[in-house]
Structure 1
Amino acid sequence: MTNALENIRVLEMTEAMAGPYCAMLLGDFGADVIKIERPQIGDQARAWGPPFVQGESAYFLSVNRNKRSVTLDIKTDAGLRVLHQLISTSDIFITNIPRLDSLRRARIDYDSLRAINPRLIYVAISGYGHTGPKAGRGGYDVVAQGEAGLMAITGNANDGAIRFPAPMADISAGVYATIGILAALYAREKSGAGQFIDVALVDAQATWLANIGGSFFATGARAKKIGNEHPTITPYQPVKCKDKFIIIAVGTESLWQKFCRALGAEQTLLNDARYATNPDRNAHRAELIAAIEKILAARDADEWIREFVAHEIPAGPINFPDETLCDEHLRARGMIVELEHPLLGVVKSIGNPAHLSDTPPTYRRYPPRLGEHNAEILESLGFSETEIKQMAEG
């Protein structure tokens, strides 16, 4: 069995989350990922914490498996020469430098690198992209969350802006960059040429508005904060049982009928004209949820989940992250990765969710120490031990 991206080389010159996440996904599928970092400093995420594990940032460890690390100061002629040599034998280059003029000054813009390798797929991940009136602005995940419309509609009516606690703009941009890369690799098979891929965090975050955007385009109305309720489906939200809340998703008329049977409410809720259709249930949401929770109050959450699952109703617990990451289902599906690190022992991370039948993700390398592979990579390019030491020191 071979890896899907075997013999594909990726140069990742990014920091933080979006670019490293993209490169990690490619590495999971077998690409040879070389992470280019600044001498003595490295990816800024190496300093993000706590928590730290024996001095290594847990944040950095979470998104940098399946990579080799080389330190290069590309502001020097020697460092730039090494980068250009690597470009000549690489398939993909990923950067998160937002300004085009900065890329040109550094001689690492698309035109400069394409002249070295016309087959190169060049990926630029930034806050706002390389076109449009805001092109070149710096941007982090939280700014994209705010600007792309998500923070304003998260929470209840009286809440202020609420940030989603996970970096969803970063991860979305990383995933979209990966999709773009795979499409560009396929296109290159036909054309023989690489291309430029421009991914903006704000664009990636805006895609999360999908159905919300559809409602705006249809009505022109501003979306409102509705808390845990769904704007167009009921019941589709957390509900309170005897001991705690669970989550239910009754998204079709068939599920509504099954749900009422599971509740023992065939003669009440199922026959109530106020709840006959989904629009009816939306119109009478408050009284319906109150009636449902009155029934649910008789039994504990785990009992109700078993009951709903037996009736083929989507339902589950509302877990904290630690509960999710210890869940036997995720472990059975290989979603908890364990890699042996020479200094830290076993390093765990969250696996790749794309389970291919013939070329599944593989987890071969622990997150690298800064410059760990300098000698290995630079020797392969013909540099001497002295030259390698000089470049490592910057």
Structure 2
Amino acid sequence: MGETKSGGALAGLRVVDLTRVLGGPYCTQILGDHGAEILKIEPPGGDETRAWGPPFKDGFSAYFLGVNRNKRSIVLDFAQEAGREALLHLLADSDVLVENFKPGTLERWGLGFKEVLSQRFPRLVHCCVSGFGADGPLGGLPGYDAAVQAACGLMSVNGEPDGGPLRIGVPIVDLVTGLNAALGIMLALQERTRSGKGQSVDVSLYDCGISVLHPQIPNHLLSGKVPGRTGNAHPNISPYDSYATKTAPLFLAVGNDGQFAKLTSLLRCPHLAKDERFASNSGRVLNRDALKRELEERLTQHDCEELAERLVRNGVPCGAVRSVEEMIRHPHTRHRGMIVEKDGYSGTGAPIKLSRTPATYRRLPPALGEHNTEFDLAPQTRSTG
């Protein structure tokens, strides 16, 4: 990937990225895709996800490749004074510092934001991504996605009704934490345009995991009932579930009475929309099992993909249940630029589309320490590990 003339919405912003694994790197890749200069500072052993495979390509794990494009890699050892001094040198010309060390680590190195960095660099925005935050009953404890899914209640509402709690198949807590970290950084930068001052952004996996429990939290706060597992079904809406067809599962996401009437008309069973059991959403929720039997009696007469397209084009939200491979091959995925293939690199495209300053893919994910020599660092910090 070569440099492009398009600067991006964040062109001119320099981010020092001390994060590893997923939440932090996902955040900084978003910023990098939109033009920010990302300096990925790695310890001598590198980001551990470099070894998280197979699969591998040219020595890079797919996991690392997925969230580390548009970055430079510099190796620094913060256990050494030279490494800490080199970091301070880089921060002198930077706007943002992102880190996901265990709370208190920067302070032990003499690099605490409140005590040192904010005094030395008053415009610096600092973002700390942690498991549980720095204080409170769980403050300072380490957190990983799946463990936090368990601790914050997400697993308890995921899975089939007659099964046990189940981890969500993607690292949703890490990903939403990365999104919130990017949003928090942008909020702080926007405020800086008024005050001229930086600030610290505190984003924890625990908080972010809790934040996505909708509608389970408001349901519980209102009703007092403990939310359970509903499989593919929605606790508040019906028909909102996976249904059998002749060929493959179809997910119906019918959100109102008008959509339900269209569905029944297209399936040639309009009387269901007038049935007192199904005439309103609350009735459909209470009688969801009976409704599912009625709908599947009709749906199993149709090809899934063909029916899904006909329904959605007629205003009934739905989707054929596809594999990842089928999704990648779908022409709309390519049309939306959600698969990037450039200079031997393949990855997920940027989902945020800006009309004048779109995301760009300028740099391949870096080799460990690849860019040390591009910066004026002390000689003893130039090792690539």
TM-score interval for Structure 1 and Structure 2 normalised by the shorter chain: over 0.9
**Per-residue displacement from partner, 1:129-170 (whole Å, max 9, x unpaired)?**
123221100010011111111101111122122111211100
Residue identity over aligned pairs, in percent, reads 39
Matched, 1:349 2:347: yes
Q: Choose from 360, 363, 366 the match for 2:361.
A: 363
Rounded to whole Å, the distance in 2 between the matches of 1:367 and 1:359 is 22
Q: Residue 293 of structure 1: CA displacement?
A: 0.3
Task: Please list every run of 5 or more consecutive structure 2 residues that lacks an aligned counterpart in the other structure.
Answer: 1-5
Rounded to whole Å, the distance in 2 between the matches of 1:393 and 1:272 is 70
- Contact kept? 1:78, 1:391, Cα under 8 Å: no
- Contact kept? 1:247, 1:318, Cα under 8 Å: yes
Q: Residue 307 of structure 1: CA displacement?
A: 2.4
Q: Choose from 23, 29, 34 the match for 1:24.
A: 29
- Contact kept? 2:368, 2:384, Cα under 8 Å: no
Matched, 1:287 2:290: yes
- Contact kept? 1:84, 1:116, Cα under 8 Å: no
Residue 64 of structure 2 aligns with which residue?
Answer: 60
| Farther off after superposition, 288-297 or 329-338 | 329-338
- Where in structure 2 are the equivalents of 1:188-203 lying within 5 Å? 188-203=192-207
Residue 3 of structure 2 aligns with which residue?
Answer: none
Structure 2 letter corresponding to 1:6: A
Matched, 1:319 2:322: yes
Q: Choose from 385, 388, 391 the match for 2:382.
A: 391
Residue 220 of structure 1 aligns with which residue?
Answer: 224
Residue 96 of structure 1 aligns with which residue?
Answer: 100
| Farther off after superposition, 229-238 or 300-309 | 300-309
TM-score normalised per structure 1: 0.93
Rounded to whole Å, the distance in 2 between the matches of 1:176 and 1:347 is 27
| Farther off after superposition, 130-139 or 194-203 | 130-139
Q: Choose from 339, 354, 357 the match for 2:342.
A: 339
3-state SS of paired residue (2:74):
strand
Rounded to whole Å, the distance in 2 between the matches of 1:369 and 1:126 is 26
Q: Residue 250 of structure 1: CA displacement?
A: 0.8
Task: Please list every run of 5 or more consecutive structure 1 residues that lacks an aligned counterpart in the other structure.
Answer: 341-345
Q: Residue 38 of structure 1: CA displacement?
A: 1.1
Matched, 1:45 2:52: no
Q: Residue 318 of structure 1: CA displacement?
A: 0.6
- Contact kept? 2:370, 2:384, Cα under 8 Å: no
Residue 11 of structure 1 aligns with which residue?
Answer: 16
Rounded to whole Å, the distance in 2 between the matches of 1:257 and 1:299 is 19
- Where in structure 2 are the equivalents of 1:229-308 lying within 5 Å? 229-266=233-270, 268-308=271-311
3-state SS of paired residue (1:269):
helix
Rounded to whole Å, the distance in 1 between the matches of 2:342 and 2:112 is 35
3-state SS of paired residue (2:258):
helix
Residue 176 of structure 2 aligns with which residue?
Answer: 172
Rounded to whole Å, the distance in 1 between the matches of 2:108 and 2:337 is 44
Q: Residue 36 of structure 1: CA displacement?
A: 0.1
**Per-residue displacement from partner, 1:3-41 (whole Å, max 9, x unpaired)?**
1111100000011000000000000110000000012x1
- Contact kept? 1:110, 1:196, Cα under 8 Å: yes
3-state SS of paired residue (2:272):
coil
Rounded to whole Å, the distance in 1 between the matches of 2:245 and 2:208 is 36
**Per-residue displacement from partner, 1:304-333 (whole Å, max 9, x unpaired)?**
113212321111111111222222111111
3-state SS of paired residue (2:273):
coil
- Contact kept? 2:373, 2:382, Cα under 8 Å: no
Q: Choose from 137, 150, 154 the match for 2:158.
A: 154
3-state SS of paired residue (1:273):
coil
Q: Residue 226 of structure 1: CA displacement?
A: 1.3
- Contact kept? 1:128, 1:135, Cα under 8 Å: yes
Rounded to whole Å, the distance in 2 between the matches of 1:158 and 1:282 is 18
**Per-residue displacement from partner, 1:44-87 (whole Å, max 9, x unpaired)?**
11111111113211100000000000001111111111100011
**Per-residue displacement from partner, 1:331-373 (whole Å, max 9, x unpaired)?**
1111112232xxxxx1111111110111111111110000010
Q: Residue 2 of structure 1: CA displacement?
A: 3.6
Rounded to whole Å, the distance in 2 between the matches of 1:164 and 1:360 is 31
Matched, 1:141 2:145: yes
3-state SS of paired residue (1:188):
helix
3-state SS of paired residue (1:35):
strand
Residue 343 of structure 1 aligns with which residue?
Answer: none
- Contact kept? 1:152, 1:162, Cα under 8 Å: yes
Residue 113 of structure 1 aligns with which residue?
Answer: 117
- Contact kept? 1:87, 1:116, Cα under 8 Å: no
3-state SS of paired residue (1:337):
strand
| Farther off after superposition, 106-115 or 141-150 | 106-115
- Contact kept? 1:339, 1:365, Cα under 8 Å: no
Aligned residues: 379
- Contact kept? 1:92, 1:120, Cα under 8 Å: yes
Structure 2 letter corresponding to 1:33: I
Question: Runs in 1 of length 4+ with deviation above 4 angstroms?
Answer: none
- Contact kept? 1:338, 1:349, Cα under 8 Å: yes
Rounded to whole Å, the distance in 2 between the matches of 1:178 and 1:248 is 32
